[in-house]
Structure 1
Amino acid sequence: MTRTNQTTTLVNGMSRRTFVKGAAVLGIWGGLASFGLSGCAPRTHAEQLANSAPWKAGTYTAEVTGHNAPYTMTVTFTDDAITAIDTTANQESLGVGYDALQALQQQVLDNQTINVDTITGATLSSLSLQNGLEDCAKQAGAFEELEEVPAPAKPAVDATYDTDVCVIGGGGAGLAAAIAAVQEGANVIVLEKCGITGGSTNVSEGALNAVDPERQEPQGIEDSIPTFFETTMKGGHNTNNPELVHFLTDNALDSVHWLESLGVEFKDECGSATGSLGERSHYPATPSGNTYIRSFQEFIANNGDAITLMNDMQAKELITDETGAVVGVKALYNETDDVTVNCKAVIIATGGFGGNVEYRQSVNNGVWKEVVLDESIGCTNIKPCAQGEGLALAEGAGAELICLSDIQLHPCGTPGTGLMEDIRTSGRNRIFVNTDGKRFVNEGAERDVLCKNIFAQPDGTYWIVVNTLRYPDPDEPDANGSTINNMLALGHIVAADTVEDLASQMGVDAANLQASIDAYNAVVDGGTDEFGFVADNTADAQMTEGPWYACRKVPTVHHTMGGIRVNVESEACDADGNPIPGLYAAGECTGGIHGENRLGGNAIADCMTFGRNAGTNAADYAAAA
């Protein structure tokens, strides 16, 4: 197998790596490929300043609205240059908006222009920086000169690359597969269509289900792999492929240990993701699923001789030889340049199709056939993810698509967008009430049960109500990086010191809301309720004191359980179960693992377990080819 040579320099704390293959040179940023690099502008900054007046040197402030919260940014000018940009007050999501801000700031400083393109996958965060730059430049008297300097060009790429394994998709499953393939001895190229790396794993809460006696037994949690298997089958309405479920439940703890070997730290205690039907959810010690992506990016930075990550690269077609084996990928870079990757094996890890409204409606003849999944039902995936391109690629190479009607809705959607934001439904010490202020469901039920009950409520919406137990400090970021005060600043939640005042702001009956809280507290105190809610004596406590907080929620498309048919080796298969030579798939783009309803916490377990499986097997296939 051929190897690449690598040189590394550090720019503003980020690793800039140059990969060399023969005479071909490709410059890439780790984790944010193709951003932060200087381009050739038709007119330089110096040329713009030649006949202009000096700027007003100083540090200027702008108030901007990010994706997650408003924040204050500052820009420092000399009389002829931008010398510093400070956006550290932002609350943007790690791996998405936060990383986009860092990359764009470096572009501005490197190229001395306020014209920077938005980063695909982090548009709103990009716009917040653009708006702040314009504001501060006007204050400094520099706007007219800076706006004439064009945006930096993205780096050039070669027309052809050769490698052992090509992974399509740089999310959790794709990067897990790529790293596993490298560990097995392969050279790997990863093609990611967005300008950010990590996909929807970045914005997940990071819950990973696995039976783990070392963590569970000290908590008094009784669990076993057979129980995990049976629960997963039950959650999927027993329509799952048992062989795939066995592989998932048998090997999920190995995925935890593998992630730990890459530097991921998990909390000492297991919890329960929304709809997990058990306390076996492992959560990263640092917020969100971006923890996994950061560890993967560090591995990539340290193994640049074997793995190349290419962003802004949309896979368009699989290349097959005369035998039908998959031997490469045709892609489009930056929407303009044709690129071919020749390889011995391809792994598709492009995620699901929940963001493709037309497609999801066309296959919606199963669990949610009575619900119109149009634009009024949002999607939790970041745009432009979850469009289903990987399914079309696999089908074009002869793979079968299965279980496409198995679409999961999540109860934690934000009205209007469907994104999972603000107060989350996962965790404990919260109640769900309808617009009359009444509880209507067991908050610990499966996700499909929760959503069906929500649709049955007035206007198909509800409120999640929490108190100081969940948020003892309004300025302390929660597990997702959000604070109560940021949520309030965006107008996404309501807050009050008393239940009566909270009910008034929610527009619900105060007596009903108090009765709902009292009923929940009675269960926590050892009682029972009409919905079958079971309290956890290690995690639940009575909700009695303010401040109180409430947030409106709606069901949203969260996960599409159908996709590419795979076997236990993660090989993509045709309608007769025959593997497509050289083609593998992992993650949400596959079908058969979760049945009609996925348990909360099983998606990350799936991505890591089957991602590792696909990477290892693809590398072995490539070595033998």
Structure 2
Amino acid sequence: MPENISRRTFVRGAAMLGVYGGLMGFGLTGCAAPSKPEEKAAAAWKAGTYSADVVGHNAPFTIDVTFSESAITAIDTSTSQESLGVGAYALEDLSAKMMEFQTLNLDAVTGATLSSMSLAQGVKECAEQAGAAKDLESAAAPEEEIAETYTADVCVVGGGGAGLAAAISASQAGATVVVVEKCGITGGSTNVSEGALNAVDPERQEKQGIEDFVETFYTSTMEGGHNLGDPTLVHYLTDNALDSVHWMESLGVAFKDEVGSATGSLGERSHYPATPSGNTYIRSFIDYIEKNSDTITMLHEMQVTKLNTDSSGAVVGVEALHRGTEPVTVEAKSVVIATGGFGANVEYRQKVNTGVWSSVTLDDTIGCTNIKPCAQGEGLSLAEGAGAELVGLSDIQLHPCGTPGTGLMEDIRTSGRNRVFVNKEGSRFVNEGAERDKLCEAIFAQPESTYWIVVNKVRYPSETEPDANGATIENMLSLGHIVKGETIEDLAEQTGMDAAKLQASIDAYNAVVAGEAEDEFGFKAGNTADTQLTEGPWYACRKVPTVHHTMGGIKIDVDCHALDASGKSVANLYACGECTGGIHGSNRLGGNAIADCMTFGRVAGAQAAANAGA
């Protein structure tokens, strides 16, 4: 276990929730005693269950809090629709702490601040109804003990998908590992992804009648990235992606038996988790880490400020700040940077936007799919400061599945088949199976740079059955996020489209699927999932382009060494995941990000462990 050389104890409270007074919701019960029962005995609380309506990050929900005469005994947020592993985790974690410590004086979870504050507001309102608010707000904040210095064979900077893959791989190679994560959540952008992982997989594909080859995967990746990817890195990715699937299965990840097609995947080889979203991967990784806590230590709310180097320039650890104030040092023989991209750093992305989207202002009017605190690009500056070269920074990817106003990928998704893209008038304008950059270029050319994705009962045979992302039509409708029509004419009226143009769009699409016509936009049928869209009910959801992935970053080789401008390795420094450059060219195929994170994450961990002598 990484050694804690010296420790300090401090009281949590840099951003106290008290002053602001699931798995998609959950309910917690407990029997914790009040922290100061002698003070509460004189004025007993009004026992009972009280409710408060709050506005979460994703949607409004109700909080039910049960009180005895002296303690919070249950907090129920089961109506929440906060994101798995992010807002839902914050609600669960903070609710448990509120009951354990009987206080409202808790820090917000970095990366899930809005969810944290909605919980604090709701519990406070319930406490006021029970006559408990004063006691809970005056109760002491919990104390937390951290070390001033940690030592390990490997330090991984970033606890997202790539970072956790690297940490586990290093652990499996015999290394001790410290993972330093700046957010209060684990999983980064992988948590909020759909989880698509591209790999040529004969076992699954042959059962579906899909003919595919690794060389086809390689060619699609190179051509999809406009032949700007490093061929050596791309070959390694496409050759070893299936091994990543099997490695993840060995850790308990269950994939669906059939593969599909992520948006812009240019092939039918996208593996999806059996339970919704990329959070499935993170849960399996966390389970492994908890079972191997003797070799892996997770440190949250830790912002790395510097890579430490010795007199020769070799990296020997990191300096960090816990919650912005408490200095922490991690001494390590190898350091892996896995901090993700910079898509949420508006200033930086505009600065480097000289490539494919130079004609578009990527200011804050363009949203981002990533968790804002996570995708700031600090790892790039850390690596550059240690001598690493940054490449391909102008290669920024937009995704067509953004929610107007936020840029988040929510509600009806663009991934998969059996959906039609139409503009505000109801006319198709693009090949729905095209690369993401081509889709977004076509959207920007439409009135108000927006469009509708239209689906019917083929995609959603039941309004109450969760889709691949855990969402239901029933919930989308109740939140007002989508529009429903029993007929094409009804849908057109609800959305303001021209009914004749919308019907013509559906008819033209169906003719291509039936093999009766060639599509004017180049859409090709033949995917095993393709079905004609003929019966209602029909559903439509408005979408906009959003910043999704940054393909540029730290230059690496196939062993994940961070390289300087001359191509020489920066001693003891490795990198993997979205913080690296050179793999995807100027356009990443849908489903290649998770394949990248897991494939090169495994390599980075194993190489870092070997470098440390593990």
- Do they superpose with TM above 0.5? yes
3-state SS of paired residue (2:528)? coil
Tell me, yes or no, if structure 1 residue 498 matches structure 2 residue 525: no
1:186 and 1:312 map into 2 onto residues whose CA distance is 23
Q: CA deviation at 1:505?
A: 1.8
- Most deviating of 548-557 and 130-139: 130-139
Letter in 1 for 2:102: Q
1:50 and 1:299 map into 2 onto residues whose CA distance is 44
1:373 and 1:256 map into 2 onto residues whose CA distance is 34
Letter in 1 for 2:528: T
From 463, 467, 470, the equivalent of 1:474 is 463
2:29 equivalent in structure 1: none
1:185 equivalent in structure 2: 174
Q: CA deviation at 1:326?
A: 0.5
1:575 equivalent in structure 2: 565
2:9 and 2:264 map into 1 onto residues whose CA distance is 44
Within-5 A mapping of 1:155-234: 155-234=144-223
Letter in 2 for 1:56: K
1:440 equivalent in structure 2: 429
Counterparts in 2 of 1:419 and 1:354: CA distance versus 1, 3 Å: same
3-state SS of paired residue (2:145)? coil
Letter in 2 for 1:393: L
Question: 1:63-92, CA deviations, whole angstroms, 9 ceiling, x for partnerless residues?
Answer: 333333333332111122111112233232
Counterparts in 2 of 1:470 and 1:115: CA distance versus 1, 3 Å: farther
Q: CA deviation at 1:141?
A: 2.6
1:423 and 1:124 map into 2 onto residues whose CA distance is 23
Within-5 A mapping of 1:393-404: 393-404=382-393
2:133 equivalent in structure 1: 143
2:8 and 2:322 map into 1 onto residues whose CA distance is 15
Within-5 A mapping of 1:195-274: 195-274=184-263
Using the size of structure 2 for normalisation, the TM-score is: 0.93
1:546 equivalent in structure 2: 536
2:146 and 2:128 map into 1 onto residues whose CA distance is 36
Using the size of structure 1 for normalisation, the TM-score is: 0.92
From 53, 56, 66, the equivalent of 1:63 is 53
Question: 1:498-537, CA deviations, whole angstroms, 9 ceiling, x for partnerless residues?
Answer: 2222112211111111111111111121232101112245
Question: 1:31-65, CA deviations, whole angstroms, 9 ceiling, x for partnerless residues?
Answer: xxxxxxxxxxxx9543552543x222112233333
Letter in 2 for 1:193: K
1:420 equivalent in structure 2: 409
Q: CA deviation at 1:459?
A: 0.7
1:124 and 1:549 map into 2 onto residues whose CA distance is 29
From 341, 357, 365, the equivalent of 2:346 is 357
Q: CA deviation at 1:375?
A: 0.6
- Most deviating of 240-249 and 541-550: 541-550
2:369 equivalent in structure 1: 380
Asked whether the equivalents of residues 319 and 329 of structure 1 are also in contact (C-alpha less than 8 Å), the reply is yes
2:54 and 2:466 map into 1 onto residues whose CA distance is 19
Asked whether the equivalents of residues 456 and 539 of structure 2 are also in contact (C-alpha less than 8 Å), the reply is yes
2:498 equivalent in structure 1: 509
Tell me, yes or no, if structure 1 residue 599 matches structure 2 residue 589: yes
2:28 equivalent in structure 1: none
Letter in 2 for 1:329: V
2:118 and 2:339 map into 1 onto residues whose CA distance is 28
2:416 and 2:454 map into 1 onto residues whose CA distance is 12
Identical-residue share of aligned pairs (%): 69
Counterparts in 2 of 1:470 and 1:63: CA distance versus 1, 3 Å: farther
1:537 and 1:555 map into 2 onto residues whose CA distance is 25
Asked whether the equivalents of residues 5 and 150 of structure 2 are also in contact (C-alpha less than 8 Å), the reply is no
Letter in 1 for 2:125: D
Letter in 1 for 2:58: N
1:431 and 1:148 map into 2 onto residues whose CA distance is 56
1:531 equivalent in structure 2: 521
Letter in 2 for 1:469: V
3-state SS of paired residue (1:308)? strand
Letter in 2 for 1:521: N
Question: 1:364-422, CA deviations, whole angstroms, 9 ceiling, x for partnerless residues?
Answer: 11111111100111110012111000000000000000010000000001111111111
3-state SS of paired residue (1:159)? strand
Asked whether the equivalents of residues 70 and 489 of structure 1 are also in contact (C-alpha less than 8 Å), the reply is no
Tell me, yes or no, if structure 1 residue 46 matches structure 2 residue 37: yes
Asked whether the equivalents of residues 524 and 537 of structure 1 are also in contact (C-alpha less than 8 Å), the reply is no
2:297 equivalent in structure 1: 308
Asked whether the equivalents of residues 117 and 151 of structure 1 are also in contact (C-alpha less than 8 Å), the reply is no
Q: CA deviation at 1:130?
A: 1.9
Asked whether the equivalents of residues 342 and 377 of structure 2 are also in contact (C-alpha less than 8 Å), the reply is yes
From 468, 473, 476, the equivalent of 1:487 is 476
3-state SS of paired residue (1:309)? strand
1:211 and 1:25 map into 2 onto residues whose CA distance is 50
3-state SS of paired residue (2:179)? strand
- Most deviating of 579-588 and 375-384: 375-384
Asked whether the equivalents of residues 45 and 113 of structure 1 are also in contact (C-alpha less than 8 Å), the reply is no
Letter in 2 for 1:341: V
2:278 equivalent in structure 1: 289
- Structure 2 unaligned runs (5+)? 11-33
Tell me, yes or no, if structure 1 residue 617 matches structure 2 residue 607: yes
Letter in 1 for 2:132: A
Question: 1:583-618, CA deviations, whole angstroms, 9 ceiling, x for partnerless residues?
Answer: 000000000000000000000000000000000001
3-state SS of paired residue (1:163)? strand
1:515 and 1:463 map into 2 onto residues whose CA distance is 15
2:527 and 2:235 map into 1 onto residues whose CA distance is 30
3-state SS of paired residue (2:606)? helix
1:135 and 1:471 map into 2 onto residues whose CA distance is 38
2:316 equivalent in structure 1: 327
Letter in 2 for 1:572: A
Asked whether the equivalents of residues 170 and 605 of structure 2 are also in contact (C-alpha less than 8 Å), the reply is yes
3-state SS of paired residue (1:474)? coil
2:30 equivalent in structure 1: none
Within-5 A mapping of 1:9-28: 21=4
Question: 1:155-188, CA deviations, whole angstroms, 9 ceiling, x for partnerless residues?
Answer: 1211111110000000000000000001111000
1:423 and 1:540 map into 2 onto residues whose CA distance is 17
Letter in 2 for 1:533: F
1:127 equivalent in structure 2: 117
3-state SS of paired residue (2:93)? helix
2:466 and 2:346 map into 1 onto residues whose CA distance is 33
3-state SS of paired residue (1:276)? coil
1:224 and 1:507 map into 2 onto residues whose CA distance is 45
3-state SS of paired residue (2:297)? strand
2:103 equivalent in structure 1: 113
- Structure 1 unaligned runs (5+)? 5-19, 28-42
3-state SS of paired residue (2:147)? coil
1:549 and 1:145 map into 2 onto residues whose CA distance is 49
Counterparts in 2 of 1:516 and 1:308: CA distance versus 1, 3 Å: same
1:343 and 1:376 map into 2 onto residues whose CA distance is 41
1:480 and 1:141 map into 2 onto residues whose CA distance is 40
2:15 equivalent in structure 1: none
Tell me, yes or no, if structure 1 residue 405 matches structure 2 residue 394: yes
Q: CA deviation at 1:98?
A: 1.4
